[in-house]
Amino acid sequence: MIKRIFCLIFFVSLVLLLGLAVKGDKSATGTGIAYQTGHNTQVSGPYEASNSTSRYALTEALVDNHTIFLNDELAAFASPDLVQFNGKYFTIFTPGVSVIAAPFYALGKVVGFPQLFAYFTINLFAIFNVFLIARVAYRLGASFYTSLLSGFLFLFATNALPYSMTFTQHHMSVTFILLMVLNSIEKRSFLRNIMFGVLFGVGILLDIPNIFLAFPLVIYVTWKHFELHHIGEKIKFSLSLSVIGLAIGLLPMVALFGYYNYLTTHSFTMLGQTIGRADAFQSDLAKQIDAAEQRREEQQNVDKNQKESSVASPFSTRRQLLGLYLLLISDERGWFYYSPVVIIGLIGLWLAFRQKETQPLAVNLIAIILVDLMTYSMFSDPWGGWAFGPRYLIPATAVACAGIGKAVTHFRRDFLVLAAFIILAAYSVYVNGLGVMTTNSIPPKVEAESLNKPIPFTYTYNIGLVEQGTSSSLIYHLFAAKYMNVQEYLNFFYGVTGVIALGLLALIIYEHTNV
Amino acid sequence: MNIPTFKLSFSLPSAPLRKAQTFLERHALLIITLVLVAISIRYWIYFYQNGLGLAYNDARSHLDIGRRVVEGLKPGLAQLGSVWLPLPHILMAFTIWNDFMWHSGLAGALESMISFVVTGILIYKILEKLKVGMLGRVFGVAVFVLNLNILYLQSTAMTELLLIATTTAGVFELINYHEKEDILSLIKSAFWIMLSTLVRYDGWFLFLYTALLVVIRAWSRKGYKMSEGVFILFCTLGGFGIFLWFLWNAAIFKDPLYFAFGPYSAHAQQDQLAEAGVLLTKHNLWISLQTYWYAMVFNSGMFPLTAGMIGAVVLWLDKKIPLRVRVATTALTAPLIFNILALYLGHSVLFVQNINGNTWFNVRYGIMMIPSFAVFAGYLLKRLKPLQWTIIGIFIFVTVFQFVSKDAVTIDDGRVGSSQKNVTEVSTWLHNNTADKNGFILISAASHDAIIFSSGLPMKKFIHEGTGTYWLSATSDPDRWARWIVMRTNDLNDQTFKLVKKSEAIDKYNLVDSYPFADIYELKPEYVPQLQTKPLFIDKSL
């Protein structure tokens, strides 16, 4: 009972803390909130990146115009993540995020806050992920409070935080992958398999690479249906027919996706992405960015002849050295640079791997991390465009954070390790707090340096914005700005985050001393 | 809601299954061999059909050297030359007399293909020795085989695969010796290492390194006296190839170190590059390390390399394996040490993109570590058993993308890097305008072997450095011997130009065409009647 009450308090704390960072601003005239009526794409606003606006445009089109196609205004808003085919515009992304958020958008329209409500969908998924990670951490052998700490640090000490305020696929993908993880470790049944199939299918509708990320789980779950017994001089092979449930769950989602493709590209199997971006509404800045991206490709030295001889694939093993460097250690997007607290999580996963009871789960989690790393290290744009931290690694981050609980539980009496953990966690919170309170749009190095007015390519850009007094927080603009400057507001945010994290840590130590 | 679970079951008698399993285990090596042979042939055909098999300038030169041993104005063993070690060309000589074998490149590729199969088998055997299960052994072989760079080089007349096979065989027998301490294994190891010293200079370093390991082992077990004997035994056979090479250079070129310091030596080339300021690795350990690291990554792929590196550490820390065996396996890292040292000392040149601008050169040197990574990755699979399907799955995942994106840095090196030489225009001219006319072509093989090869003309049509009296006569009196001269005008590195320039006979020639790699001169018609068009000198050489 106490734990349930604690969970409720924890949930409310999460909502309030996350609420401090929700993006928005007063309109220039001082009436209403500008972003809910207009399509202002200025830096630090909720519409600052086209990976949000393109999806949001589809949500608007679905609810307002009852179509999946974008009119000129929405197409311009979605550009450059826009596809033009047969004279019609549609988003380059899969429709999952936009469809899931549509009811929230419609509800928001009723009360006059469509953008806030639509984006709130992502906030909800982010908070849900905290509890899912806690659940996974618990299954890995972490204690109750360390499990919650795992989830908390995922949301507040990694770039999952800034991406909880965007209209992107990351948090939803994490949710469905974690649900699949939890589903996969249960005993197989027909209904559970249908559910797994549905989760996998929705995952694909959210983002195509989820096929790769969830693939180890698909194989694991499928494999669990096969049995082999030695009976005397015979060997008995069995296949549980409940495996059909996987297909039954998956097929409707695949059919839905096929139908969406058919409507957009006139082919059940052709994805919008394969057609390429439309440049009809590109702004001067976007064109400048495109030119810079081209320069970046040249500097990447993806060999021309190799390019010509290759099948059109966004993935190439040649890029892996650069990709892994960028995604793991670089100051541009490095995992360990932006959220070094995941190191503790990885140690926790290794500890879980070493224990027989938790080994199957740990193997699946390690597989997800490796697949995520391998996939995006081969990707043509491991930076994730203008982004904050390694946004493509957010699913791997979630999985790695599940190991934090295990590691902290294991090292709870080792104050040296705990001190290192606190330092890494504090640094991670600091960095990602900067992101969520200002902007996610940090260019890759080569693009930042190629701009007419070069800007920093690390989170020092965000530090600069804070020093200039730029904040993306709606609460700050609406209420707090009267009483404090941006830096003080950020410190307040850090303070509350720190209190919750240290509170959980104290409870862990208390819990174990009592045991 | 409780839904009953239905099962599809069937039973099989276990005896036949056990028999099948036993059969597979017993004949695994044969099955793997057959699969490797099939893969090898399939990829040779693939690269033959798309013409990439002869993309490397060096591949054409190797084939020409082999051909000159059996055909030309002065055939014989002396044609083996001084720069490149002789074993690949000696092996080619058995088949290269056949025009198809020469011009298809198969004469040279055949030894690479056999080496490919042999190396696959050796990786399997080494892993078996390290008590790795069937899955790990097959995985190790797969890491080696499912690599486009390996598949490409095994389809060419390059020397990498032969070197890989001989060094891997040497290390395999060395591990045997360290495990069982039988002299026969030591002799076998010395034999294979001796062969490797006749393929590339990498083998020389392996010889030194393994000799050191052998001495340490013998000394630690049986003291100084015994180690002295073992050392002499090992070095006598292992170093025999090196001794023969010194002897050869002394006999043919009157200088035992001609291969090292002669005008065509790597040393001479590197000096030129150093003078031009492009030999960045020389005396710079960091750039040398970085360069070879990049070359390894681009050749092996990031995942096999990482799995291999972790596997190596796991193997060397595994106390279940006797220390002496673990020490012996360090010989698998010899190519790594050698290449970094060679780059640092300025004896080797390797260009990779991102370090040396936008070009490749000799990036294939990074391939030498792939068999080692394959062994270590196979071992890793054994030690990380619960993760084995994850490792296999991810390997398949990245390999699929390597094949889909046709990512083979060695092909880029051969096609567009500094290792390529597109001489189609000049060789086509020669083919179209000289094939049915009498007369010799004066050309420097050192500079233009690719042209000789690509022209499709018989070797005896050419007067080059290896033709002795013909060369001396033709360079002093070109108009009496050469109807055509192919050379880079005004380039003193081109021996033909350097010597012909002195004769002042060039006025008797018309410059008929000029190409990026060479100019073609043809004797003016009024001098043709005095021209010697038939072989004249009786060959008394080797």
- Phi-psi group of A86: left, alpha or beta (phi > 0 → left; psi -120 to 50 → alpha; rest → beta): left
Out of A311-320, A466-475, B474-483, pick the least confident.
A311-320
- Would you call A491 an interface residue with chain B, using a CB distance cutoff of 8 Å? no
A254 has pLDDT over 80:
yes
For chain B, how many residues are written? 542
CB contacts, 8 Å: A233 with chain B = 13-15
CB contacts, 8 Å: B409 with chain A = 318
The more confident residue out of B505 and B244 is: B244
- Would you call B301 an interface residue with chain A, using a CB distance cutoff of 8 Å? yes
The answer to whether B390 contacts A370, with C-beta atoms less than 8 Å apart, is yes
A310 has pLDDT over 70:
no
A513 has pLDDT over 90:
no
The answer to whether B12 contacts A230, with C-beta atoms less than 8 Å apart, is no
Between CA B135 and CA B439 the distance in angstroms is 62
B447 band by pLDDT with thresholds 50, 70 and 90: confident
For residue B13, the chain A residue with the least C-alpha distance is: A234
Out of A170-179, A204-213, B4-13, B358-367, pick the least confident.
B4-13
Between CA B198 and CA B195 the distance in angstroms is 5
For residue B410, the chain A residue with the least C-alpha distance is: A306
- C-alpha distances out from residue A439 to A42, A53, A190, B80, Å: 10, 15, 45, 67
DSSP H or E stretch at residue A231 = strand A226-231
> Please, which residues 176-205 of chain B have a Cβ atom closer than 8 Å to chain A?
none
The answer to whether A238 contacts B7, with C-beta atoms less than 8 Å apart, is yes
Q: What percent of chain B has pLDDT over 90?
A: 71
Between CA A405 and CA A491 the distance in angstroms is 26
Q: Is the peptide bond before A80 cis (omega within 30 degrees of 0)?
A: yes
Between CA A193 and CA A199 the distance in angstroms is 10
Q: Please list, in sequence order, all residues whose beta carbon lies within 8 angstroms of the beta carbon of residue A324, skipping any fewer than 6 positions away.
A: A373, A377, B302
What is the residue extent of each domain of chain A? Answer: 2-19+36-273+314-514
pTM (two decimals): 0.90
A195 band by pLDDT with thresholds 50, 70 and 90: very high
B303 band by pLDDT with thresholds 50, 70 and 90: very high
A418 band by pLDDT with thresholds 50, 70 and 90: very high
pLDDT at B380: 97
- Testing the interface with A: which of B150, B302, B360, B411 to mutate, by most A Cβ within 10 A? B302
CB contacts, 8 Å: A239 with chain B = 7-9
**In angstroms, how far is the first alpha carbon of chain A from the final one?**
18
The answer to whether A363 contacts B386, with C-beta atoms less than 8 Å apart, is yes
A296 has pLDDT over 70:
no
B403-410 mean pLDDT: 93
The answer to whether B12 contacts A234, with C-beta atoms less than 8 Å apart, is yes
pLDDT at A284: 65
Q: Please list, in sequence order, all residues whose beta carbon lies within 8 angstroms of the beta carbon of residue B330, skipping any fewer than 6 positions away.
A: B213, B316
Size of interface A-B (CB pairs under 8 A): 129
- Would you call B10 an interface residue with chain A, using a CB distance cutoff of 8 Å? yes
The answer to whether B394 contacts A359, with C-beta atoms less than 8 Å apart, is no
Between CA B295 and CA B174 the distance in angstroms is 27
- Testing the interface with B: which of A217, A317, A358, A446 to mutate, by most B Cβ within 10 A? A317
> Please, which residues 303-342 of chain A have a Cβ atom closer than 8 Å to chain B?
303-306, 309-311, 313, 315-318, 320-321, 324
For residues A317 and B407, is the Cβ–Cβ distance under 8 A? yes
CB contacts, 8 Å: A304 with chain B = 416
CB contacts, 8 Å: A354 with chain B = none
For residues B363 and B409, is the Cβ–Cβ distance under 8 A? yes
A30 has pLDDT over 70:
no
pLDDT at A306: 45
Amino acid at B62: H
Q: Please list, in sequence order, all residues whose beta carbon lies within 8 angstroms of the beta carbon of residue A70, skipping any fewer than 6 positions away.
A: A57, A58, A61, A77, A78, A82, A89, A90, A91
The answer to whether B14 contacts A317, with C-beta atoms less than 8 Å apart, is no
Q: Mean pLDDT score of chain B, rounded to an integer?
A: 92
- Testing the interface with B: which of A303, A374, A399 to mutate, by most B Cβ within 10 A? A303
CB contacts, 8 Å: A320 with chain B = 297, 301-303, 398
CB atoms closer than 10 angstroms to residue B6:
12
For residue B356, the chain A residue with the least C-alpha distance is: A301
A295 band by pLDDT with thresholds 50, 70 and 90: low
- Would you call B310 an interface residue with chain A, using a CB distance cutoff of 8 Å? no
The answer to whether B397 contacts A236, with C-beta atoms less than 8 Å apart, is no
Kindly report the nearest CA distance between residue B360 and chain A, in angstroms. 10
CB contacts, 8 Å: B415 with chain A = 305
CB contacts, 8 Å: B404 with chain A = 310-311, 313, 315
A299 band by pLDDT with thresholds 50, 70 and 90: low
- Report the SS3 class of residue B486: strand
pLDDT at A303: 46
Out of A275-279, B40-44, B201-205, pick the least confident.
A275-279
User: Taking the CA of residue B207 as centre, how many other CA atoms within 13 Å lie in the half-sphere pointing to its CB?
Assistant: 29
- Would you call B297 an interface residue with chain A, using a CB distance cutoff of 8 Å? yes
The answer to whether A367 contacts B393, with C-beta atoms less than 8 Å apart, is yes
Cα Rg for chain A, rounded, in angstroms?
23
Residue A427 dihedral angles phi and psi, to the nearest 5°: -60, -45
Q: Mean pLDDT score of chain A, rounded to an integer?
A: 90
pLDDT at A309: 44
B337-353 mean pLDDT: 93
The neighbouring-strand residues paired with B361 are B351
Kindly report the nearest CA distance between residue B47 and chain A, in angstroms. 14
Between CA B440 and CA B437 the distance in angstroms is 9
CB contacts, 8 Å: B12 with chain A = 234-235, 237
What is residue B457's DSSP assignment? -
The answer to whether A311 contacts B404, with C-beta atoms less than 8 Å apart, is yes
Q: Which of B151, B87, B161, B198 is nearest to B368 (CA)?
A: B161
The answer to whether A240 contacts B416, with C-beta atoms less than 8 Å apart, is no
> Please, which residues 411-470 of chain A have a Cβ atom closer than 8 Å to chain B?
none
A273 has pLDDT over 60:
yes
Q: Please list, in sequence order, all residues whose beta carbon lies within 8 angstroms of the beta carbon of residue B24, skipping any fewer than 6 positions away.
A: B31
The more confident residue out of B221 and A395 is: A395
- Testing the interface with A: which of B148, B390, B396, B411 to mutate, by most A Cβ within 10 A? B390
Tokens of A289: 């960015």
The more confident residue out of B277 and B11 is: B11
Here the ipTM equals 0.89
A108-130 mean pLDDT: 94
Out of A196-210, A290-304, A453-467, pick the least confident.
A290-304
B247 has pLDDT over 80:
yes
> Please, which residues 380-399 of chain B have a Cβ atom closer than 8 Å to chain A?
386-387, 389-390, 393-394, 397-398
Kindly report the nearest CA distance between residue A367 and chain B, in angstroms. 6
Q: Please list, in sequence order, all residues whose beta carbon lies within 8 angstroms of the beta carbon of residue B348, skipping any fewer than 6 positions away.
A: B266, B270, B281, B339, B342, B362, B365
Between CA A311 and CA A296 the distance in angstroms is 21
Out of A178-187, B102-111, B354-363, pick the least confident.
B354-363
Amino acid at B290: Q
pLDDT at B176: 96
Between CA B79 and CA B97 the distance in angstroms is 14
Amino acid at A11: F
pLDDT at A508: 83
Tokens of A232: 């005397």
- Would you call A219 an interface residue with chain B, using a CB distance cutoff of 8 Å? yes
Tokens of B102: 């020469």
A288 has pLDDT over 80:
no
B216-244 mean pLDDT: 92
A297 has pLDDT over 80:
no
Burial class (CB in 10 A: 0-12, 13-18, 19+), B425: middle
For residues B294 and B367, is the Cβ–Cβ distance under 8 A? no
Question: A285-294: buried (b, 16+ CB within 10 Å) or exposed (e) per residue?
Answer: eeeebeebbe
Burial class (CB in 10 A: 0-12, 13-18, 19+), B368: buried
pLDDT by residue (tens digit) across B488-500?
A: 988 888 889 988 8
Kindly report the nearest CA distance between residue A407 and chain B, in angstroms. 20
Between CA A364 and CA A358 the distance in angstroms is 10
Kindly report the nearest CA distance between residue A487 and chain B, in angstroms. 40
Q: Please list, in sequence order, all residues whose beta carbon lies within 8 angstroms of the beta carbon of residue A301, skipping any fewer than 6 positions away.
A: B353, B354, B358
CB atoms closer than 10 angstroms to residue B507:
8
- Testing the interface with A: which of B10, B405, B411, B412 to mutate, by most A Cβ within 10 A? B405
The answer to whether A216 contacts B398, with C-beta atoms less than 8 Å apart, is no
Least CB–CB distance from B405: residue in A190, A310, A360: A310
A312 has pLDDT over 70:
no
pLDDT at B4: 66
pLDDT by residue (tens digit) across B72-124?
A: 988 888 888 878 999 999 999 999 999 999 999 999 999 999 999 999 999 99
Q: How far is CA A294 from the centre of its chain?
A: 26
Q: Please list, in sequence order, all residues whose beta carbon lies within 8 angstroms of the beta carbon of residue A501, skipping any fewer than 6 positions away.
A: A149, A152, A153, A156, A157, A425, A429
B458 has pLDDT over 50:
yes
Amino acid at A244: I
- C-alpha distances out from residue B52 to A196, B63, B408, B433, B455, Å: 47, 15, 12, 26, 17
A84 has pLDDT over 60:
yes
For residues B348 and B366, is the Cβ–Cβ distance under 8 A? no
A314-322 mean pLDDT: 91
* Number of H-type helices and E-type strands within chain B: 26, 6
> Please, which residues 36-95 of chain A have a Cβ atom closer than 8 Å to chain B?
none
The answer to whether B3 contacts A189, with C-beta atoms less than 8 Å apart, is yes
What is residue B113's DSSP assignment? H
Tokens of A236: 């008995």
The answer to whether B5 contacts A316, with C-beta atoms less than 8 Å apart, is no
For residue B392, the chain A residue with the least C-alpha distance is: A367
pLDDT at A29: 55
B310 has pLDDT over 90:
yes
- Report the SS3 class of residue A221: helix
